[in-house]
Amino acid sequence: MTALLQHIIDALSVGSTYALLALGLTLAFSIMNLINFGYGILLVWGAYGLLGLTEAGLPFGVAVILSVVGVTLLTMIIGRVAFRPFIGAPPITLLITSFAVLQIVQYAAIVAWGEKPRIINYPPAFTDVLHIGALRVPLLEIITIGTAAVVVLVYFVILNRTPLGSKVRAAAELPDMTRLVGIRPGTVQMTVFAISGAIAGVVGVLWFAKSGAITPRSDLEPTLKAFIAIVLGGLGNTRGALLGGFALGALEVLMSVTLPESVLGYEPAIVFAIVIAILILRPSGIAGAKVNPA
Amino acid sequence: MNLPISFQRDRVPGLRGLAGALVGPLIVAALVCLVAWVVYDSFPSMQIIVLLFGINLVMVIGYQLFVGSTGIVSFGHVAFMALGAYAGGISAMSVTEKSIFLPELPGFLANLELPILPAMVFGGLVAAIIALVVAVPLMRLSGAAASIATLGLLVITNNVLNQATALTHAPQSIYGIPEVTTLTWVLVAVFAAVVISAIYKWSPAGLRSRAVRDDEMAAEASGIHMLSARVWPFVLSAFLTGAGGALYAMLLTAFSPQSFYVPQIVVILAMAIIGGINSISGGLVGALLITALNEVMRRIEGGSSLFGLHLSAPTGISAAVLGVALILMLRWRPEGLFGSAELQLGRDDRRKPESWKGQGLVEAPPGPAVKSNK
């Protein structure tokens, strides 16, 4: 029983990280057809920002806020400079563009921080472990689940309760009509980049608290996880993306518990094989709903 | 000057047209290979770069064969390169070396010791067989979903190669592959790849593939089987890429699964897209340009003086420069330098095509995008 509870908490925590990753990507797809290969590198930049600011002596909380703001701005700049000229192009052109953007932003990280792995000094709240009876719950898991809940809540409030959010939802549903009633596509796109970037900033803080060292090439794993989650949930479907993230987390924990040692190494292959199978059997994802940003 | 050559998207009908269309890309290949040969001969320090360039030509032709025929941008071809490199490399390794480095190899592989040409074919065949197995499910997908699925193929292949230590010695490098790749073999491979690719392109099967690429519904309505129009270019392309991988293995002699992963995609992608994804001639020229660019960047990484300016940059700048080149190209000339045009022998008697526009990725045919759920 305790073991089961332990696994459920693990799965929720891993799943909420993936759900946030997917949330940051999926809105850009429903508004702009953008599947961002360079999403993981935003996390990396956020983590480097946090590293630099904490090393400069700023309190951790302030550094987190500043780094999230920094990643948001970086995402908006990249979006304005690199992606906006391609909006309206088929998804594949944007996918290649984002792959090219990744090469550039990654090189910037290499120049700025070097190839050597770096480690952020997280406060004890991120590393302590809570003991409840026989249960061992790392505080980081609780922080992750809590943060995810807050971010998702804020996301839905922004999209459903603010004028800007209505514009974004309108643009996702009827892009041409939205233009006709005088909503500028540029405003909508920049809002989407800002939301996407802010989420990347938050996930970056959580991701590297768990995985430890940052290198300029740590971006691939989060990007792949995010791709898997949005494919599982159905491209462009926000609720699906969240569900896809949690499903991926549950799947990973389930596999690590049930698979024999000898097969465990093949976990990434198995996960991707499942993704491809889902792409083929249910192209609209496990949620299978229409495009729905909120 | 009135040379009997032309640039056009479609070939002139008839046998003479076919011959002209086959010779055209061969002329481009000959010119590109001539450049390679001159550099190889005059700068001994550049020999390895020229050999790698030749191998990249094979890769680009293989990549172009698939992407040009189907319009699906693959992020997974590095997987075929890896499969070809391991299969070809292991098959070429001497039996004694194998008993030292890979003692757990299954019997038939342990006793195999092939010369370079059969090893290349073996590498290509292994990649092609895997491609055939995965193509049937994968090629049902279109657009960005297909691209993500090919990326998945790369992740799976990398994972399996890393885990299959008995076959690959991973995660460490594999050693002991004979260094037998020579300029002659590389050039033979390049020309063979061009011939295979051009024959496919102008064959009825190739035409069917491009029909599905341009308008899936109309093609299917005229009786073209969508799946086979995509599966065969995929398999053929995997064969060429695998053979190129085998050549690569027999040049470098030591590598690990990490030598074939996501960072390696950008080079082939940039070569093919900058040259013109729908053109064999374009791919060849694109490969030449990107290799030259890469070489300049490599010098800058090493620190060098250019026009009195001292330049140096941390490793990895070539990927960033390729990124910039890709974005500029997609922005200003998405169809690539050559568009869909192919150099052909024989004058173009017909009306000129209005423009190359509309052949690039940006204005690609409407095809069912992933957003079919909208």
Q: Is residue B312 part of a domain?
A: no
Taking an 8 Å cut-off on Cβ atoms, the answer to whether A280 and B326 are in contact is no
In a domain, B372, yes or no: no
Q: How far apart are CA A121 and CA A119, in angstroms?
A: 6
The answer, for A257 touching chain B at a CB cutoff of 8 Å, is: no
Half-sphere exposure of B179 toward its Cβ, with a 13 Å CA cutoff? 8
DSSP β-ladder status, B304-306 and B5-8: unpaired
Is position B98 within any domain?
yes
Q: How far does A201 lie from chain B, in Å, by closest CA?
A: 23
Quote the minimal CA–CA distance from A79 to chain B in Å: 13
Domain holding B28, by residue range, is 8-261
CB within 8 Å of A81: residues ≥ 6 apart: none
**How many structural domains compose chain A?**
1
How far apart (Å, rounded) are the C-alpha atoms in residues B262 and B255?
Answer: 15
Given this model, what pLDDT does residue B298 score? 85
- A272 and B331 within 8 Å at the Cβ level: the answer is no
Task: Say if B322 falls within a structural domain.
Answer: no
Q: Is residue B88 part of a domain?
A: yes
Query: Is residue B190 one of the residues assigned to a domain?
Result: yes
Stretch 312-331 of chain B: residues touching chain A, C-beta under 8 Å: 313-317, 319-320, 322-324, 326-327, 330-331
User: What pLDDT does residue B2 have?
Assistant: 62
pLDDT attached to residue B349: 58
Rounded-to-integer distance, Cα A68 and Cα A56, Å: 17
| Chain A residue at shortest CA distance from B161 | A266
**Subunit contact B149:A279, Cβ cutoff 8 A:** yes
Residues of A in contact with B313 (CB under 8 A): 111
Q: What local confidence, expressed as pLDDT, does residue B305 receive?
A: 65
Q: How many domains does chain B have?
A: 1
- Domain presence at residue B313: no
CB contact under 8 A, B326 and A85: no
pTM of the predicted model as reported, rounded to 2 decimal places: 0.89
Residue A208 has pLDDT above 90, yes or no: yes
Cβ–Cβ gap B138/A99 under 8 Å: no
Summarised one tens digit per residue, pLDDT across range A150-160 is 999 999 999 99
How far apart are the C-alpha atoms of B93 and B100, rounded to whole Å?
11
Inter-chain touch B155–A283, beta carbons under 8 Å: no
Q: Helix/strand/coil (H, E, C) string of B189-227?
A: HHHHHHHHHHHHHHCHHHHHHHHHHHCHHHHHHCCCCHH
Q: Looking at this predicted complex, what is its ipTM?
A: 0.89
* Nearest chain B CA: its distance from A60 CA (Å): 30
CA distance A92 to chain B (A): 5
Length of chain B: 374
Task: With respect to residue A276, please indicate whether it lies within any of the assigned structural domains.
Answer: no
What are the E-state strand segments in chain A?
118-119, 129-132, 135-138, 213-214
For chain A, say whether B224 makes contact (Cβ under 8 Å). Answer: no
Top pLDDT among A234 and B374 is at: A234
* Range 230-289 of B in CB contact (< 8 A) with A: 262-263, 265-266, 269, 273
In this complex, do B371 and A91 lie within 8 Å of one another by their Cβ atoms? Answer: yes
Contact B219, B226 (CB under 8 A): yes
Q: Which helix (H) or strand (E) holds A146?
A: helix A139-161
Please identify which residue in the block is written with the tokens 């129009």: B229
pLDDT computed for residue B359 by the predictor: 47
| Nearest by Cα to B58 from B160, B192, B223 | B192
Q: Is A85 on the interface with B (CB under 8 A)?
A: yes
CA-based nearest residue in chain B for residue A173: B374
Shortest distance between the Cα of B151 and any Cα of chain A, in A, equals 9
Q: What is the DSSP string of B117-128?
A: HHHHHHHHHHHH
Backbone phi, psi, residue B206, to 5°: -65, -40
Tell me the shortest Cα–Cα distance from A45 to chain B, in angstroms. 16
Dihedral angle over CA of A189, A190, A193, A199, nearest 10: -120
Fill in the amino acid letter for B357. K
Please count the residues of chain A.
294
pLDDT of residue A82: 93
Tell me, yes or no, whether A207 lies in a domain. yes
Put simply, whether A146 touches B (Cβ < 8 Å) is: no
Rounded (10°) CA dihedral A85, A88, A91, A97: -10
Using the Cβ of A72 and the Cβ atoms of chain B, whether some distance falls under 8 Å is answered with no
CA-based Rg of chain B, rounded to a whole angstrom?
Answer: 21
Task: Give a yes or no: residue A167 inside a domain.
Answer: yes
**Containing domain of residue A184, as a range?**
2-217
pLDDT at B362: 43
Cβ distance A92 to B364 less than 8 Å, yes or no, reads yes
DSSP state of B257: G
**Residues 6+ away with beta carbon under 8 Å from A136:** A6, A129, A130
The phi, psi pair for A120, rounded to 5°, reads -85, 140
- The reply to whether residue A90 touches residue B364, judged by beta carbons under 8 angstroms, is yes
Please tell me the predicted confidence (pLDDT) of residue B231: 95
Spell out the per-residue pLDDT of chain B, length 374, in tens.
Answer: 566 788 888 787 788 888 888 888 999 999 999 999 999 999 988 899 999 999 999 999 999 999 999 999 999 999 999 999 999 999 999 988 888 888 888 878 888 899 999 999 999 999 999 999 999 888 988 888 888 889 999 999 999 999 988 888 888 899 889 999 999 999 999 999 999 999 999 999 999 999 999 998 999 999 999 999 999 999 999 999 999 999 999 999 999 999 999 888 999 999 999 999 999 999 999 999 999 998 888 888 877 666 666 666 777 888 999 999 999 999 988 888 888 888 888 766 555 555 444 444 544 444 444 333 33
Interface of A with B in 106-145 (CB under 8 A): 106-108, 110-111, 114-115
Contact A220, B262 (CB under 8 A): yes
Max CA-CA distance within chain A? Answer: 61
* H-helix or E-strand spanning residue B366: none
Residues A245 and B107: beta-carbon distance below 8 Å: no
